[in-house]
Amino acid sequence: MFVRLIPVLFCLFIGLTPSSYAANSVPELPQLGASQYLLVDFLSGTELAAKDPDKRIEPASITKLMTAYVLYQELEKGNIKVEDRVLVSEKAWKMEGSRMFLEAGKKVPLERMINGLIIQSGNDAAVALSEHTSGSEENFVRKMNANAQRLDMTNTNFVNVTGWPNPRHYMSARDIVTLTRAVINEYPEHYKMYSQKEYSYNGIKQYNRNKLLWHDDTVDGVKTGHTESAGYCLLSSAQRGSMRLISVVLGAESDKTRSNYSQQLLEYGFRFYETHKLYDANSVLTEARVWKGTKPSVPTGIIEDFYVTIPKGNYSQLKGLMEINKSIDAPVKRGDVIGMAVIKDLDRIVLQKPLVAMDSVDTGGTWTNITDSVKKLFVE
């Protein structure tokens, strides 16, 4: 059973005031010609526009975002170092598609090779780095899939580190956004590399294929992809003020259209939506009754920063309520979910976050157990 606090009280508690005005409407996004697309607010995770976001597709070189993510983990663990010199194998040298033109048998500083992986989308760099890190590309791919599973990327499976076409190699637009949020959240210093427009290696200057980096100075990433079977794909992110958006466009017909569609998505999100922070992580929102415990209640709150994304002008119309389990028996451990915080824009649920115990409560003695058992009968 859940007990609902009066919405107005919760609105006052979070600094919002209810309003009788109608919610501002958001115009529909014009139809885009891409096979799939998705627009998401980075901070709140709210989806603002979507077309088949869970469909499994060939991600092409967007795959290399996971390749880089695993490399960042290995650097953080100390298993590899930027000063390492990476041997270029025959397999890496023979890779087709986009390359940074590595030479077989040469040893190249790992840091330079990561730059080539990200900016030039080098297939040769991806293979060489995977072999250096894990002994073989196959071993490295196991780490990629393990991370996909950990991040709950349910429509993703990798068979290589480059995105080379394979029927068993796929991602979805939603999974791509999940991975992008993880990269930006966990490795913000490494993420800065995705905004670099050009890179030279072996006397050859190559340019980042993300054309939005030249057209919109708020765009700072992320990754392009293209094969004949996948079409033209573009994963983009832009920040204006404190608001960051992530867009994914898959299966566009040309380099130009993938850029145009991505720009349309970003403009749509920034034009019609706004994001607000309601609470800091580990904020206590209320107390929850605990039965048969050493304490009669436990502080209750949220463990992550709480953001909400809404149509512009609707902030004053938000209502909040808390749904608290009224049958909580000790013991309670810190982090146990005991309710939900719900934010509504008039009658539409905008966002829900788990309410968790911010402390632990042990089981009480015999007398407490008896008296609380009786009291509990009158509230259920």
Which residues are part of a known binding site for substrate?
223
Candidates 121, 134, 247, 259; catalytic one: 121
Question: How would you list the strands of the sheet with 297-301, edge to edge?
Answer: 2-4, 318-325, 337-345, 348-357, 297-301, 284-289
Q: Is the distance from CB of 18 to CB of 7 less than 8 angstroms? A: yes
Candidates 35, 44, 61, 237; catalytic one: 61
Q: Could you tell me which of 131, 21, 8 has the C-alpha nearest to residue 67?
A: 131
Sequence letter at residue 100: M
Count of C-beta atoms within a 10 Å radius of residue 1? 9
Burial 138-166 (b: 16+ CB within 10 A, else e): eebbebbeebbeebebebbbbbbbbbbee
Specify binding-site residues.
223
Q: How far is Cα of residue 79 from the mean position of the Cα atoms in its chain?
A: 25
Candidates 35, 44, 64, 98; catalytic one: 64
Active site residue 61: yes
Burial 325-362 (b: 16+ CB within 10 A, else e): bbebebebeeebebbebbbbbeeeebbebebbbbebbe
Question: Mind telling me the catalytic residues?
Answer: 61, 64, 121
